[in-house]
Amino acid sequence: MDTRDDSAEAYVVDLCDQILGETALTQHKFGWLLGDPGMSGRRAKLPVDAYWPGHRLVVEYRELQHDQPMPHFDKPDKLTVSGVHRGEQRALYDARRDTGIPAHGLRLIVIRPADLDADGRGRLRRNREADLAVLRKILARGSDEDRVTDAFRTWLLAEGWTPVDPADPWADVEAVRGGERLICEVKGRTSETGTDADIAYGQLLRRMTSRDSRIRYALVMPSSSVKAVERVPARVRELLHIDVYEVTDDDVVRQLPA
């Protein structure tokens, strides 16, 4: 049997680390994700396979025993604290993760062997290039604003910033680095670039509730919106402590000169 460090799960998490530019917290436990009470009445915390705080992302790698009966794993003759055998408890706890994780504002992605280069028994062939290509698509989010946000979060981490929960719940991204704080509005590709740029400026102005000079504000925009953003003169943006970051179609992040 593979050790955990050489397991399929560890292999998948390592590829996700490479794509996301952040090292996962593996077997991470949240205080609100709990199993059923045991004889003592205590409820153990349920681990997740991998959690990337900077991306607010959880990945679960679910092998075949999560989706089909397997007596070796299920142990049908032995009941768990949930009053059911291990296979049924696994399904119960998977469902608890599926609902609880998004309910707490985190993104959950479930990856299965069939998503990757695997044989009929669910064993990964570990074709890194092919699996990386597939995982990039799986980890990409639905809208272009999501794509821009994820690319910018990855850039922040590489530049030494730590994304944090926004003090203002309506802000898209907030990050700290030393004594600095960056509060950001993010927009994706749109047919109404001028209107969206104006809205983004207005949203940033509403975030400017602190007198702290160490706080800067940022518009994070796709390349198609840069000209619309630049209609506000650079000297005005500098007076308001507003930076502009461009995210290209291939997810390269550039800060526009002041």
**pLDDT tens digits for 146-172?**
889 989 999 999 999 999 988 887 888
Clarify whether residues 10 and 130 are in a common domain: yes
Tell me, what DSSP letter sits at residue 62? -
Burial degree of 77 (CB within 10 A; 0-12, 13-18, 19+): exposed
Q: Is the pLDDT of residue 212 over 50?
A: yes
* Domain final residue pick, 94, 120, 139: 139
Clarify whether residues 114 and 168 are in a common domain: no
Q: Is the pLDDT of residue 32 over 50?
A: yes
pLDDT tens sequence across 64-76: 876 666 654 545 5
CATH code where residue 168 lies: 3.40.1350.10
Res 70: pLDDT: 60
Contact 197, 188 (CB under 8 A): no
Q: Is the pLDDT of residue 87 over 70?
A: no
Q: Is the pLDDT of residue 143 over 90?
A: no
Clarify whether residues 9 and 121 are in a common domain: yes
**With bands split at pLDDT 50, 70 and 90, how would you rate the model's confidence at 137?**
confident
Clarify whether residues 29 and 48 are in a common domain: yes
Q: How far does CA 178 lie from the centroid of its chain?
A: 23
Q: Is the pLDDT of residue 214 over 70?
A: yes
Q: What three-state secondary structure class fits 47? A: strand
> Any idea what the Cα angle at residue 95 is, between residues 73 and 169, rounded to 5°?
140
* Domain final residue pick, 77, 104, 139: 139
Q: Which long-range contacts (CB under 8 A, 24 or more apart) does 77-84 make?
A: 80/36, 81/35, 81/36, 81/37, 81/38, 81/39, 82/35, 82/36, 83/36
Clarify whether residues 109 and 173 are in a common domain: no
> Any idea what the Cα angle at residue 110 is, between residues 89 and 38, rounded to 5°?
25
Query: Residue 44 is part of which domain span?
Result: 4-139
Confirm whether pTM is higher than 0.85: no
Res 217: pLDDT: 97
Burial degree of 200 (CB within 10 A; 0-12, 13-18, 19+): buried
Res 3: pLDDT: 45
Clarify whether residues 171 and 118 are in a common domain: no
